[in-house]
Amino acid sequence: MAKGAPIGFRIDAEIKAALEAAAKADDRSLSSLITIILRDWLKERGHLPGTPE
């Protein structure tokens, strides 16, 4: 997969730990899991091109 645009933000340590555990359980990187979560959230709300509103 090609590298995308970087983004940085702060989150609670508890949320980060949960994301890291979920990524490990799904055998993927933390970045990959966060990308999937954000993409799915945006699709559900019609914010990505070609998705229903």
| Predicted confidence (pLDDT) per residue in 16-53, tens digit | 999 999 999 999 999 999 999 999 999 999 999 765 55
CA dist., res. 44 & res. 32, Å (int):
18
In angstroms, the first-to-last Cα distance of the chain is 28
In this prediction, residues 5-15 reach a mean pLDDT of 96
Q: What is the pLDDT of residue 52?
A: 56
Ordered by start, the domain boundaries in the chain are 13-44
Residues 6+ apart with CB under 8 A from 20: 30
pTM, two decimal places: 0.83
**Contact predicate 24/33, CB 8 Å:** no
